């Protein structure tokens, strides 16, 4: 889900911008030029963060700022940059003042391994279950406590946020979901049986449970963005409304517009 909020004006953010960059030559050069022009505030004193890189850096930065909900304005110095704005050196405070804020809520994954305590992680893009060996995974799917699919034989299955619906979810032939639709795509990855099942669109408040069948013979890993838990037996996924993340976008290139435009890309 997203909400548009006005960020602080250009004058109020001057000197309060923290700039982070991916460890690439292009991003590092851009970082040095922006620091020379605008300075670089410590993260604990910043009102906004500018992230230079690709979508991976945006995810890394948001995870780093969990609990603080600092607005992050990404500029593309990477390859994909779906969550990033175009890179320009000039007028950065003014661009930040005009940017639109998309408020996102991540997915929370609770993964059970053996008899120990469950492991938890947050995902801004998706939570995916993936087979660990040559054997296909067998997974039972429950939605809000009701069995919806008794046995899915597949390479994997994922639940995506709307913001992440254009990432792995789209590559797995899942639907693109506009922000604000209050829907979560549930998408199989290379489903073998039932062969014709293409997934489902779930209400944002749904609680999804995956039960791994034959876990010794067919081990499965669960991944929340870049947190991986191997040999899971049961995985619970839900949208965590108690955590908010803010991404800033230029008015003519907001995240909602990108999600709509992506559906007409051929």
- Contact assessment for residue 30 and residue 40, using Cβ atoms and an 8 Å cutoff: no
**Stretch among 40-44, 113-117, 139-143 having the lowest mean pLDDT:** 113-117
Helix (H) or strand (E) holding 229: strand 227-229
Model confidence at 207: pLDDT above 90: yes
Q: Domains plus CATH for the chain?
A: 10-105+244-262 (3.40.50.10330), 107-239 (2.60.200.30)
* Global pTM value: 0.83
Tokens of 243: 């955590």
Q: Which residues are catalytic?
A: 55
Q: What is the pLDDT of residue 266?
A: 64
* Closest to 49 in 3D by CA, of 37, 62, 36, 59: 62
Q: What is the pLDDT of residue 241?
A: 93
What span, in angstroms and rounded, lies between the C-alpha atoms of 123 and 34? 30
Q: What is the pLDDT of residue 10?
A: 47
Q: What is the pLDDT of residue 15?
A: 65
Q: How would residue 163 be classed by pLDDT, with cut points 50, 70 and 90?
A: confident
Q: What is the pLDDT of residue 139?
A: 98
Q: What is the pLDDT of residue 55?
A: 86
Residue-wise pLDDT for 58-110, tens only, equals 989 998 998 888 999 999 997 777 889 999 999 999 999 999 998 889 999 99
Buried/exposed code over 129-148 (b: 16+ C-beta within 10 A; e: otherwise)? bbbeeeebbbbbbbbeeeee
Q: What is the pLDDT of residue 14?
A: 58
């Amino acid at each position: 889900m997203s909400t548009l909020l006005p960020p602080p004006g250009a004058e109020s953010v001057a000197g309060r911008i923290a700039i982070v960059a991916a460890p690439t030559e292009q991003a590092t050069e851009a970082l040095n030029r922006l620091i020379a022009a605008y300075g670089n505030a410590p993260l604990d004193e910043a009102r906004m963060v500018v992230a230079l890189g690709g979508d991976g850096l945006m995810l890394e930065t948001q995870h780093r700022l969990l609990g603080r909900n600092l607005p992050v304005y990404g500029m593309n110095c990477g390859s994909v940059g779906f969550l990033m704005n175009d890179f320009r050196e000039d007028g950065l405070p003014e661009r930040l003042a005009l940017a639109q804020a998309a408020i996102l809520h991540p997915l929370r994954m609770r993964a059970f391994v053996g008899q120990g305590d469950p492991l938890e992680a947050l995902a801004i893009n998706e939570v995916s279950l993936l087979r660990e060996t040559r054997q296909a995974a067998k997974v039972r799917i429950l939605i809000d406590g009701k069995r919806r699919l008794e046995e899915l034989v597949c390479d994997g299955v994922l639940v995506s946020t709307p913001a992440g619906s254009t990432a792995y979810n789209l590559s797995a032939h899942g639907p693109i979901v506009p922000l604000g639709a209050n829907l979560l795509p549930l998408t199989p990855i290379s489903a073998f049986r039932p062969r014709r099942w293409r997934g489902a669109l779930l209400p944002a408040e749904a609680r999804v449970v995956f039960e791994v069948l034959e876990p010794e013979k067919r081990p499965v890993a669960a991944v929340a963005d870049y947190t991986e838990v191997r040999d899971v037996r049961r995985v619970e996924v839900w949208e965590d409304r108690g955590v908010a993340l803010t991404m800033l976008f230029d008015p003519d290139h907001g995240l909602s517009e990108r999600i709509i435009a992506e559906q007409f890309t051929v």
